[in-house]
Amino acid sequence: MALFEARDPDFEARVRADFARQGLMTTLGAELVDVSPGEVTISMPFRADLTQQHGYLHAGAITAIVDSACGYAALSLMPAGVEVLTVEYKVNFLAPASGSRFIARGRVTKPGRTLTVCTGDVFVPDSDGRERHIATMLTTMMALAPRMAD
Amino acid sequence: MALFEARDPDFEARVRADFARQGLMTTLGAELVDVSPGEVTISMPFRADLTQQHGYLHAGAITAIVDSACGYAALSLMPAGVEVLTVEYKVNFLAPASGSRFIARGRVTKPGRTLTVCTGDVFVPDSDGRERHIATMLTTMMALAPRMAD
Amino acid sequence: MALFEARDPDFEARVRADFARQGLMTTLGAELVDVSPGEVTISMPFRADLTQQHGYLHAGAITAIVDSACGYAALSLMPAGVEVLTVEYKVNFLAPASGSRFIARGRVTKPGRTLTVCTGDVFVPDSDGRERHIATMLTTMMALAPRMAD
Amino acid sequence: MALFEARDPDFEARVRADFARQGLMTTLGAELVDVSPGEVTISMPFRADLTQQHGYLHAGAITAIVDSACGYAALSLMPAGVEVLTVEYKVNFLAPASGSRFIARGRVTKPGRTLTVCTGDVFVPDSDGRERHIATMLTTMMALAPRMAD
C-alpha cells in the first residue's frame, strides 16, 4: 500500500534515469532495488575498498546510499521537470557496518512544494532472515525547478 | 598556534597509520594533508566517478572526507591505545560541489573522555586563491577503549 | 505490545519522579501522559506566552517536550541508579505549530550501555480525531552513572 | 567589522519588532542584546523554573534562545517584507548549563535567497571574564515571502 500518490506517472523511469547518472553509485556498486511513490530502496554489497580502519563499511559509503535513497524517495513525489537537491542530513550510526550486503531505505516523512523531509534507514540482512539496523538518517531535500536555483 | 595539546606524543603517526587502513580513503583518492592536535586536513581531487546526477561531487563523497577529518581530529587528542568511532553527524551543503579539488578540515570543538564534539568544513580552492565553502559538519565522536565497546 | 523490556521494574516511578523535578516542564504546563518501556508520551496545551512571532508555538517549546519524551524513553530502559543526559538532537519542523494541544512521543530506536538513540515526534490532535505531524526529532542520549561523568 | 551587508537598512528595527512578538522570549526572560548584519546575540538569566532534573537549564530553554538568535541573524540579511522560519536544527550540548546568565550568538554561515544556514553558540560568562561554551547549533532557516508559504 502506497502512502503517497505520485504526481508524475513516469516517476519510476525518471528516478531510474537519474540514479544511472550518479557516478558514485556505480563506483560503490550500488543498485536501485525498488522505487515506489515516496519510498526507494538501494542495495550495496560489502567491498574491502569501501571500509574504515576497523574493516567495517565507512560511514561515508553508508551515508551515500541512504542519501540517494532519501533523495529519490523525495523526487518520486515531485512533478516532472523538477530536480532534487540534498539540503542537509543527520545520520546516527547504530551498530558496526559489518555484513555482506547493505540495504538503504528512504521514505518521505513530509512532502512539500519546496522542501521535503525524509527518513532513511540502513539494514544488514542476517543469515537468519532478520535485518540488523545499522544507521538512521533524517534529512531535508529541496525541489529545484529550472528557475528556482539558489 | 595549537588550541589543544595532544596527550599522545605519537598522535600524528597514529592518525596516519589509521588513515592508511581506511580502504574508502584510498578508493576516493583522498590524502591526509595535515595533522595537528585537534585539527586534521584531508584533500581529495575531483573525479567523474564520484559524482551525483548533475556532475557535482556526491554528498556521500564530501561527507566521507569531512567525517574522516573530524574523526582524526578527535583521535589526535585521545590517549594512546584508544580508538575513535563516529556516533553521528549532521552536514549542511552550502554550494554545488564543483571544482578540481576538495579540502576537508575537521576541528575539535569540545574534547571529552568519552565523547568529543567536532566541526568540519569543506572548501574548494578557487583559481584566485580564495576558498569556496561548500559544506559544514557538526559531529559527535566516541572514544573506544578496548573494554568499552557498546 | 512493548518492543523493549525494562531492566528496572520501577522504571515508571523513576521516570515520573525525574519528570517532576524538571522545572521547565511545569513552567510549560507539560504533563507526562504515558510511560512504557522505551516509549514516553508528553502532552502540553497551547499557551500564548509560549509562541514565536507568528503566534505559533515556539520551536524551543516543541523541542523541550520532545527532548524530555526522548530522554525519558531512554531512561525507562536504563538500570536503576543511572541518569540520562541529552548529548545532541536534530529536529525538523514539518508544519506550523498551531492547535490547542501538542503531543510529543519519544521512542528508543537503539538502546545501548552508554549511548541510546531515540526518535521523537510531535503531533497536534485535530478536531476530526486525526493527528497532524508537526515535528520530528533524532537524538542521542547518554547514560550517566555516578562515576562516569564526562 | 560586519561580514555581511544588510539589504534592508531597517534590519535592526525589524528584528527587534519581531523579537518583541515572540511570547516565549518574554516568558523565558530573554533579551535581544545585539543585532548586526548576519549576527544576533540574545541573553537570558538563569531561573529555577527553566531547569531540567539536575537543576541545570533545560536543553529546550537553551535551544529556544539560540534558535531565535540564529533566526534573527538570518532575518537581518533578508529583504524587507520577508519573514523567517526555522526549517530544522541540530544542537550539541557541550557542558552542563549551570551559571547565572546564558549568552546565545547566532551567525549566518551561508545566506541564500530561499535557505540560509546559520551557526549558533551558547556561552556562560564566568566570574573571571571568560566564557564557557555549553552548546552549539547548526541550523537551516527559510525565507518566507507572503506568497511562498509551503
Structure confidence by residue, pLDDT tens digits, C22-49:
999 999 999 999 999 999 999 999 999 9
Name which of D87, D114, D148 is nearest A150 (Cβ-Cβ). D114
Contact yes or no for B114 and C113 at CB 8 A: no
pLDDT at B150: 46
Phi, psi dihedrals of residue C68, rounded to the nearest 5°: -65, -40
Structure confidence by residue, pLDDT tens digits, B25-72:
999 999 999 999 999 999 999 999 999 999 999 999 999 999 999 999
**Res C149 pLDDT > 80:** no
Structure confidence by residue, pLDDT tens digits, D43-78:
999 999 999 999 999 999 999 999 999 999 999 999
What is the distance in angstroms between the Cα of C85 and the nearest Cα belonging to chain B?
12
ipTM above 0.90, yes or no: yes
pLDDT-based confidence at residue C127 (cuts at 50, 70, 90): confident
pLDDT-based confidence at residue C145 (cuts at 50, 70, 90): confident
Nearest CA in chain C to D26: C49
Residue C62 in contact with residue D84, Cβ under 8 Å?
A: no
* Mean pLDDT in order along chain D per 10 residues (150 residues): 85 97 96 98 97 94 98 97 96 96 98 97 91 97 73
Residue D117 in contact with residue D138, Cβ under 8 Å?
A: yes
How much of chain C is helix, strand and coil, in % rounded to 5?
25, 40, 35
Name which of D95, D133, D136 is nearest B138 (Cβ-Cβ). D136
Name which of C25, C52, C65 is nearest D24 (Cβ-Cβ). C52
In 3D space, the residue among D88, D90, D98 whose CA is nearest the CA of residue D134 turns out to be: D98
pLDDT at D3: 79
Nearest CA in chain A to D139: A88
Contact yes or no for C150 and B90 at CB 8 A: no
Task: Name every chain C residue with its beta carbon within 8 A of the beta carbon of D93.
Answer: 85-88
CATH label, B11-144, candidates 3.90.226.10, 3.40.47.10, 3.10.129.10, 3.40.50.2300: 3.10.129.10
Nearest CA in chain B to D141: B92
Q: Residue C16: CB partners within 8 Å, gap ≥ 6?
A: C32, C35
Interface of C with A (CB under 8 A): 90, 92, 94-95, 109-110, 117, 119, 133, 136, 138, 140
DSSP per-residue string spanning D33-76 = EEEETTEEEEEEE--GGGB-TTSSBPHHHHHHHHHHHHHHHHHT
Q: For chain A, which residues make up each domain, given as ranges?
A: 11-144
**In which residue ranges of chain A is pLDDT below 50?**
1, 148-150
The mean predicted confidence, pLDDT, of chain D is 94
Phi, psi dihedrals of residue A65, rounded to the nearest 5°: -75, -35
| Cβ atoms within 10 Å, residue D125 | 15
Name which of C21, C23, C83 is nearest D50 (Cβ-Cβ). C23
| Full strand arrangement of the beta sheet holding D131-144 | C31-36, C39-45, C101-110, C115-125, C131-144, C83-93, D83-93, D131-144, D115-125, D101-110, D39-45, D31-36
| Cβ atoms within 10 Å, residue B9 | 9
What is the distance in angstroms between the Cα of A116 and the nearest Cα belonging to chain D?
10
Subunits adjacent to chain A (3 or more Cβ pairs under 8 Å): B, C, D
Task: Name every chain B residue with its beta carbon within 8 A of the beta carbon of D117.
Answer: 92, 94, 136
Structure confidence by residue, pLDDT tens digits, B76-104:
999 999 999 999 999 999 999 999 999 99
Taking residues C103-128, report their average pLDDT. Answer: 96
pLDDT at A2: 53
Name which of C21, C61, C89 is nearest D64 (Cβ-Cβ). C61
